[in-house]
Amino acid sequence: MSTALLEHRDDAGAKIGMWLFLLTELLLFGGLFVLYSVYRFRHPGEFHDGAMELNLILGSVNTLILLTSSFTMVLSIAFLRLVKRGASLLALAMTILLGLLFLVNKYFEWSAKINHGIFPNSPELLARSHGEILFFGLYYVMTGLHGLHVVIGVLLLSIVMVWMVRGKITPDRDIFLENAGLYWHLIDLIWIYLFPLFYLIT
């Protein structure tokens, strides 16, 4: 690569690129929201029954965890801007830990359901009504895809943390941290909708 390219740096451009990517992520989930809205429209009662079986406490706790992790994420960026590297790293580490905690909860939630015989194509589930099969199908697919994004987010933040320790990210060169933050907030954003759509159906 020529040196001219290495020197080329456009933070505003990098941010536009990141936002465009986030939009594609929104639409990726968007396809699932199309399915969700159609099937909920057709089976309101069964979706309610399905939601009653989900663990509202675990779901709520995970919501609080993810919201708090978004908070620590913005703190990390704000601290870096104030040239408080230690505080910034600490906030970033908290974000990663909260992300992992979310995954641990998700693991317990899923395994409890699976132990009760509720998982895609399970005999227990197939014996139920169509609406409930669809509800749990969407539940696994949507929270699964979201969980996958949390995993990717945690990995991304860890890489950013390494870069920060190595001095590749500095107060006047924080675009990587900012963009990773945007990605993390998007994960939060999607969960903000998934939570009421799956756990809170009356």
Site for other proteins in 172-191 (CB under 8 A): 181-182, 185-186, 188-189
Taking CB under 8 A as the binding criterion, the range among 28-36, 92-100, 110-118, 163-171 that sits at the site for other proteins is: 28-36
User: Which residues inside 50-109 make contact with other proteins, applying CB under 8 A?
Assistant: 56, 60, 63-64, 67-68, 70-71, 73-75, 78
User: Is residue 33 within the footprint of other proteins (CB under 8 A)?
Assistant: yes
Give whichever of 161 and 201 is closer to other proteins, judged by the CB atom. Answer: 201
User: Is residue 115 within the footprint of other proteins (CB under 8 A)?
Assistant: no
Give whichever of 126 and 172 is closer to other proteins, judged by the CB atom. Answer: 126
Taking CB under 8 A as the binding criterion, the range among 19-27, 93-101, 158-166, 167-175 that sits at the site for other proteins is: 19-27
Cα separation, 123 vs 154, in Å, equals 35
Nearest distance from C-beta of residue 200 to other proteins, angstroms? 4
Nearest distance from C-beta of residue 85 to other proteins, angstroms? 17
> CA nearest 199: which of 115, 113, 86?
113
> CA nearest 66: which of 102, 93, 109?
102
- Other CB atoms within a 10 A radius of the CB of residue 123 amount to 7
Residue 176 contacts residue 163 (beta carbons within 8 Å): yes
Q: Name every residue whose Cβ is closer than 8 Å to that of residue 87 and which is 6 or more positions away in sequence.
A: 75, 79
Cα separation, 85 vs 167, in Å, equals 10
Taking CB under 8 A as the binding criterion, the range among 12-20, 101-109, 152-160, 164-172 that sits at the site for other proteins is: 12-20
Give whichever of 138 and 157 is closer to other proteins, judged by the CB atom. Answer: 138
> CA nearest 119: which of 192, 22, 198, 128?
128
User: Is residue 111 within the footprint of other proteins (CB under 8 A)?
Assistant: no
Which residue among 141, 158, 175, 176 contacts other proteins (CB under 8 A)? 141
Q: How many residues bind other proteins (CB under 8 A)?
A: 73
Amino acid at 3: T
Q: At 73, list the tokens.
A: 């994420």
Which residue among 110, 163, 176, 193 contacts other proteins (CB under 8 A)? 193
